[in-house]
Chains A and B, each alone.
Chain A
Amino acid sequence: MSGAVYGFAALASLAAGALGVHGLLGGTWTLAVPWLLPLGGLELAMDRLAGLFIAIVALTALPVSWYAIAYDRDARGGRGAYLAFLGAMIVVPLAANAMTFLVAWELMSLASWLLVAHQREAARAAWVYAVMTHAGFACLLIGMLWLTAATGTMAFADWRAAVPGLDPTTRHVVWALLALGFAGKAGVIPLHVWLPLAHPAAPSHVSALMSGVMVKLGVYGLVRVSLDWLGVGPPWWGVVILVVGTCSAVIGVLYALVDHDLKRLLAFHTIENVGIILIGLGAALVFQPVGAPELAALALVAALYHTVNHAAFKALLFLGAGSVLHATGTRNMEEMGGLARRMPWTAACFLVGSIAIAGLPPLNGFVSEWLTFQALLQNLSVARPALNLAFALALAGLALTAGLAAACFVKAFGISFLGLPRSEEARHAHEAPAAMRAAMVALAAACVGLGVGATLVIPALAAVAADLTRGAAVPIAVFGGVTVRVSDDFASVSTLTVAGALAAALLLLAVGVRLVGSTARARVGDTWGCGRILQTARMEYTATAFSSPFKRVFDFFYRPRRRLDLDVHPESRFFVRSLAYESATRSIFDDWLYAPLMAGLRHTTATARALQSGSANLYLAYILAALLLMLVLG
């Protein structure tokens, strides 16, 4: 039964993927069904940007649905919500008027909420998710209705035409509202609080879609509103996005470093990667109005490329985490270890995902981060020192993020998959079934392909970027079929060459070492234990210990709280009977933003309760007062 549903989802994804690729390559069409929805009816329109995001959604959903056939075999329902979720995500980029968009958007949120709420232990996660997603929806609703009122139309195509005549204040307010709503869905700091709760709580295949794809629709919205619906905005829109993106990238990875729940760690990396995407988008929004549309197009290509890449490697990593969860029953890295020997396929795929997300060559994460760097590095053409300083700090932030992400995935892969098993469950872990392995291998192949085949992907993305920057010449040229050149001779990269050179060097070394040195097989012995005979998992470095240098370096941010309870023998304090150690970090966003906000909200609602006394006479008086007020105002 569930197999049939997921099989259908996979087939539908394949079809939608073909549709998306057709749109990405330039196919356009529109579809209107006026009777289906009130106020404007269902209107769909395909363009390159929509095609790109549909392709991302569908081509990620294809392996994920395939994986779910084996993974979600005995689920307690939620398959209908899965289909609705998938369908809504495919309709969102196609929506051509505000009504269609908002209905599809809300359907997507509700379906994913159901999938989270379905899990028994996820009550709080579901609640926070519902609140945050509806706060975002309210912003979108107000923004879109405002724009509709100002332009007199709900159709996006008419917005484009009407916006140049709009009063600037309206434009800024609408942009702020819509950007806030979309940024909330994208999980941008400080609107991220729902993301590390909701994404890990959902079943792993749903987590893969939520993290890999759903947050991307927030990015889609930001691109649409900032470059399409509202035309070219002032540079400060871009600066806001750039700063928010840099903060999200650095803070996301900092949280991931100290989190030892494998799925939550991945969720924090989603925040980081959305930050990297927004760095590219923000740079584009700064370049566009200051007279450098080519650089805007370059930055946009970088941002879109990272969007595609993140979908591939984040889905892969979540599926890998799902396989580990399936095999060991835990998400806690401190109870894993040694899985590389027990689950070689999962480990290899997770390693590919780790290298890709850490931005290491020659895989896909490297290409898009490299492009982002090139876009940022050319900011001298913007001759304003304040903007240049913002760019320099974004560069530094991006570099720090790349370094910390590599460190974090050393932890994620090394602690989970290497060394000795840290629990009985990890010792008896088993490899994932064939369907799950096939899905992971497909996504791993996509990570490799998007990396070494960058020269094939970039022209398609450049066409999208050219559309969005009103036909700017994208300063990226493919040279000799393998090299990507940016801004003539400013920089060039060829991942295919690097991959080939690495492979050749490996071969050369393997042969060379055999020729020069001893050919004896390695002897197998114990790990050196300072003279101890028996090595156990308790002597291994833990994830907590691994992240401790980072905790100390960034303690102003983590504000760690350590507690050590020693129960000593009454006779001598040198004999410890039991020991409890706790080390927790505190979230500055919970303490300084959400806690006061919630306290204020509670206070306001408590005060407002005075209105609701329960007396029918008083309620009648309210109605009368309201009627009189309306008459007077009318």
Chain B
Amino acid sequence: MIEIVIGGLVQILAVALGAPLVVGLTRLLKARLVGRRGPSPGQPYRDLVKLLGKTPVVSSTTSWIFTFTPYLLAATMLVAALVVPVLTSRPALGFAGNAILLMALFLLGTFFLALAGLDAGSAFGGMGASREVAVAALAEPTVIVAIFALALRADTIDLGALVERLGRAPSLALNPAHLLALAAFFIVMLAETGRLPVDNPATHLELTMIHEAMVLEYSGRYLALVEWASAMKLLLFMTLLANLFVPWGVPASAAPAALALGAAVLALKLAVLCVALALLETAVAKLRLFRVPELLAGSFALALLSVMAVFLVP
């Protein structure tokens, strides 16, 4: 019992404190790839501390939704950090829900953030909110079907059990159909976390913004919470991708030694993913907004193929 509590606390701290590093590392790698020196990987921490210390400005048209949303958004990510198998395949709140709860938690955050975007009454906020929910809604079927493809092979939809069973049976994890689901999930990750080619996290160009337009009115501690939550979402999605599709090195217990091993292996996997993300983001341009649904439809087709492979190839 005490081990589970400590394991949960360690996992929450790992996600909460590690998330800005993932963002910083990706930014540094991207800068290096295009020939800039780039900021140090610790820059996001300094940004967060600075924002937390500033007095926020809130629009006079807003309601309580606007100030409540950043807290709720960060809270959904902290709860999600206890549901996803991050350091161990038996996360503290693993019993409280599975992949579907996780997607619903993310959607709850998006729901409130989109409401907050509309709350200030500016055209930017509404534009961002409308686009963000459109992308999130269209990404939903792919996630469910990709998870379904995995659940079919492992006969469970519990995230931790999925990781354990796939890890025990390399023939399942190295199956070509598994790679189709991986590709589908990767595209969805890009869409859900607002990365290129769906959204550009580095731009504030009016007509292309999605996420940044929605949070344009935030400042001070509210902005810090929103940015921190976005970083945690990226980390959680990357972890999910890493642990579901490369299910090795995830310990099944929350003992200190096991957690340390899990953290080391995860750090390695995430570093590889950061490199992949940086490479991808320097290589592709942002898609026009109305081409995004085509990309998501493509990812859905991949996920469906992965499912059908199970039925047709015994």
Contact = CB atoms under 8 A, between A and B. Distances in A.
B9 to A, nearest CB: 11
Interface in A505-540: 505-506, 508-510, 513, 516-518, 520-529, 535, 537, 539-540
Interface string A487-498: 001111110011
Interface stretch (B99-107, B238-246, B258-266, B273-281): B99-107
Nearest to B128: A541
A545 B157 CA distance: 38
Interface stretch (B66-74, B169-177, B194-202): B66-74
B115 to A, nearest CB: 5
B304 A392 contact: yes
B91 to A, nearest CB: 12
Contacts of A520: 55
A287 B72 CA distance: 40
Contacts of A546: 126, 129-130
B2 interface: no
Interface residues of B, number: 90
B312 interface: yes
Nearest to B97: A493
B187 interface: no
A338 B62 CA distance: 8
B57 A523 contact: yes
Contact of B290 (A338, A366, A493, A553): A553
Contacts, number: 275
Nearest to A555: B290
Contacts of A409: 111
Contact of A385 (B82, B221, B312): B312
Nearest to B219: A522
Given A385-B311, A539-B122, A489 B60 contact: no
Given A419-B121, A502-B79, A361 B101 contact: yes
Interface in B252-301: 289-290, 293, 300
B122 A528 contact: yes
Nearest to A501: B79
A410 B293 contact: no
Contacts of A505: 74-76, 78-79
A491 B96 contact: no
Contacts of B125: 541
Given A491-B98, A505-B75, A513-B52, A553 B63 contact: no
Contacts of B71: 506, 509-510, 513
Given A418-B63, A505-B75, A540-B121, A395 B148 contact: yes
Contact of A492 (B64, B97, B131, B289): B97
A491 B65 CA distance: 33
A233 to B, nearest CB: 24
Nearest to A361: B104
A361 B111 CA distance: 11
Contact of B158 (A370, A492, A524): A492
A400 interface: yes
Contacts of B141: 395-397, 399-400, 403
Contacts of A497: 93, 95-96
Given A418-B63, A509-B75, A522-B58, A400 B107 contact: no
B134 A549 contact: yes
A474 interface: no
A377 B121 contact: no
A403 to B, nearest CB: 3
B66 to A, nearest CB: 8
Interface in B23-63: 49, 51-63
Contacts of A447: none
Nearest to A537: B121
Given A358-B107, A541-B129, 20 more contacts: A361-B104, A370-B100, A373-B144, A392-B148, A392-B308, A397-B141, A403-B140, A414-B117, A419-B121, A489-B156, A491-B156, A498-B96, A498-B97, A509-B74, A517-B224, A522-B55, A535-B122, A537-B121, A549-B134, A552-B290
15 contacts: A398-B144, A400-B137, A400-B141, A403-B136, A420-B61, A491-B158, A492-B96, A520-B55, A524-B57, A527-B60, A535-B121, A539-B123, A541-B126, A545-B126, A549-B130
